[in-house]
Structure formats: C-alpha cells, structure tokens
Amino acid sequence: MSGISYSTLVTQIRGYTEVDSNVLTTDVLENIILNAQQRIFLDVPMDSDRFVQEGTLSAGNNSINAPAGAVFIRGIEVFDSTSATTGSGSWLEKKDQTYLSEYLDRSTGPGGFGTSGTVVTGLPKYYAMFGGATGLSDTTSGAMYLAPTPDQAYKFRIYYNKMPATLESGNQTNYISLNFPQGLLYACLAEAYGYLKGPTDMLTLYEQKYKQEIQKFAGIQLGRRRRDDYTDGTVRIPVKSPSP
C-alpha cells in the first residue's frame, strides 16, 4: 500500500465493516477519520509536523506569543543581535514559571519586575510556558515568558510541532495518508468498530494491527529519521544461527 486518499479510505472503511452510508454517514466517517489522525499524531511526533518561526523580541516585554496551532514547543533560540544571520544564537533553558519568579526575585505575577520595582533586563536565558496556542493566528492565550526581560530587539526562533492539515473531503491526502496508510486504516477501523459497538473480536483485531503498525512507524520517525550511519553507526540486528 503506497498511499491512500480520503475518498478511498471512506470506501475501504465501509467495505471492511460491511456497513453502508445509511449508518456510516459522511459526518460519522469524518469524525472517525479525524479521531484516528489525532491518535496517530499524539502517539508519534513526526518530522513533517516540525516548524520554525522567526521573530523579534520587544525591549521591555518579557513574553512572546506561541505560534498558531503549536501543540508543543521544542526549543527557543535567541540571538545576541537584531539579526539572526549576524548574531550568535543561544538556546533558552526551559523552566517552570515559578522558577522565573524566583529568578527575578518577585513574589507574584509574570510582570518581570524585582521587589524594588526595577526591571531585570538583559539577554534572555530562561523561558516558561503559559497556556497553549489556539486558532489560526499567533495568540496571547498561549505564551512563553522570558527571563531576564529583553533589553533590546533580539531576534529569536521558535522550534515547535503543530497538528498537520487533516485528511477530509476538502483535503484528499496528507503526510499520514501517504506515508502511513495501513496504520491510518487500522486506526479508523478500530474507531469504526467502537462506534458500531462490535463485534468485539474485530475491534480487538484492528486494535492489535494498529499497535503493530504504529511501532514500525515510530521506529522510522523516532529512530531512523533521527540518526545516520556516519555519526551513529549502522543498525545491526542480531540473527540467531540455526541449532545444529
């Protein structure tokens, strides 16, 4: 199986379950396929979902908005210059918001002021998460607090993962459907049999098939794609010799 489209997946789900469109309606299948994709996304962070966003810090402002749709932040790099090409980058250490409060010698709030009311400024060294991004644009409902508060307009880069474009009637293919079609099908069938409330043995079968496929997929995404033979060496799998 080299890839699958939304329309083909819909046909296969109805074919495997032997249930027509009167029960597995378009709306029901859209929800089943969405749930299956969400499950795969949460089970295996994929390279295709990695993004980088560049911006400029504001002097005196100790927070930056989370990128639109960010599920989790992988790292923040700040450059000791107003240009990412000429400045030297350094990675911020991720801490809890309480740590930043202690670092800034504050008793309450994320305002970035010391007990004397003097702003603690400089090149940021730490960041802490506060909320999560929602919607299609950068939002203050999801933010990262910085310490110290920037004393000038430093350039920064945020490395993060976000939910990919989902497979639906208006989007016939995506990374999962093209690169993990069998796992997507099994995840959908497990969702479908759960919705149909049986047979239990079929639900168990496709749940097991999904778990087998997701292990292989994770081995590629979290294994082979994160290493190379030059720096990590060739993967060697021991093969048992037949008994004499």
pLDDT in tens, 35-46: 999 999 989 988
pLDDT of residue 45: 86
pLDDT at 16 over 90: yes
Question: Can you tell me the distance from the alpha carbon of 60 to that of 186, in angstroms, rounded to the nearest whole number?
Answer: 51
Work out the average pLDDT over 211-236.
78
Residue type, 209: K
Residue type, 112: G
Q: What is the pTM of this model?
A: 0.76
**Contact present, 138 and 146 (Cβ < 8 Å):** no
From the number of C-beta atoms within 10 Å of its C-beta (0-12, 13-18, 19+), residue 183 rates as buried
- What crossing angle do the helices spanning 6-17 and 181-196 adopt, rounded to 10°? 50
Using alpha carbons, list the distances in angstroms from residue 20 to 29, 32, 33, 39, 196.
11, 15, 16, 25, 12
Q: Where are the domains of the chain?
A: 6-46+164-225, 49-162
pLDDT of residue 108: 42
pLDDT confidence band for 115 (50 / 70 / 90): very low
Helices (H), 81-166: 97-103
